[in-house]
Amino acid sequence: MTPEQKATYMRRCFQLARLGEGRVAPNPLVGCVIATDDGILSEGYHRQFGGAHAEVNALNALTPAGRSQLGDATVFVNLEPCSHYGKTPPCADRLIAEGVRRVVVCNTDPNPQVSGRGLRKLRDAGVQVEEGLLTSEGWELNRRFFTYHELKRPYITLKWAETADGYLDADDPKPIRISSDLTKALVHKLRATEQAILVGTRTLLKDNPSLHTRRYYGAPLTRLAIDRNGRAPLSSHLLDGSQPTFLFNSRRDDAPWVRLDFDGDVIQQLLQFLYDHRIQSLIVEGGAETLRRFIVRGLYDAVQVETGVYACGKGTQAPDVPLGTALRTACYDGHRMVSFRKMKQ
């Protein structure tokens, strides 16, 4: 099989893996292709957390004719096959039992429960294993999963909408509308790819946000708010019981309240809480002070800024945009949306 064919099949794994986005966390996105020099025999991907893994779905999709060619085929998978019992049996064991002779892997699994053990098990069983194909593309696909395991914190996206003259809101008791219906839907699409969303006290009290994804299909987010003195009223949308919710404060420690030491490093305590609860990705949506606290600490991986079409003259100044590598700039209804990644140190 040529290097070009191998790269094509691995990129097909990436395509398949993305079909599980929003449904498999905290598991990684994984696709699998079983192929020969003549073409693909079967495909599969991890569809749902707790469900069968990509390799198992691909093996189960083999036709009788395809299964007869399995000994001459190569299994492509973008992440190391698991070697432990979790929600499902080890995929490495299934591959060995099926008589697979060749496996090509993009990335090794950073999860300590796997981390090389799956590849070792395959090699010990006589399977020819090739690893490291398109590793940077594989890391990008599972950047949330890798960040969580490598940095021991969630992958953090800072997101805000500002007026044409750079304000998050006006000097007015009521919130102002910056986003259009279309850009709101795009924000909900972004939310649907992440696990948790955080706002600060001012946003909680002034905007009374729901922090949902009703304009786009996706699993409910875990909603988070910093509320040091426990000022959230009972009428707050975050207390409606519709989604998992935690309010970080200095007084109470009964659900949904979580007590933190506000004389200490609140952001680090919050991130440790998310790590302990296996939350691998976080959107920080404001307000200004909360966003700045993450920016100053360099605790972000991606940023998305929407600039609206109207000016408000005065109000709460938006944060200065941190340095980053631009990914995408687009305009919708006259609104400019810019996405970029943190510059690597």
Cite the active site residues: 55
With the CA atoms of 329, 334, 335 and 341 taken in that order, what torsion angle do they form, in degrees rounded to the nearest 10? 0
| Cβ proximity of 218 and 233 under 8 Å | no
What's at 223, amino acid-wise?
R
How distant, in Å, are the alpha carbons of 29, 59, 181, 274, 278 from that of 25? 8, 22, 28, 13, 9
233: how many CB neighbours lie within 10 A of its CB?
9
What's at 328, amino acid-wise?
R
How far apart are the C-alpha atoms of 130 and 327, rounded to whole Å? 31
Tokens found for residue 63: 């036709």
How far apart are the C-alpha atoms of 220 and 212, rounded to whole Å? 7
Largest CA distance in the chain: 71
Helix or strand run (H / E) with residue 88: none
| Cβ proximity of 251 and 259 under 8 Å | yes
How far apart are the C-alpha atoms of 69 and 252, rounded to whole Å? 62
- If you compute the radius of gyration of the chain from its CA atoms, what whole number of angstroms results? 23
Secondary structure (3-state) at 19? coil
> 245 exposed, middle or buried (CB, 10 Å; 0-12, 13-18, 19+)?
buried
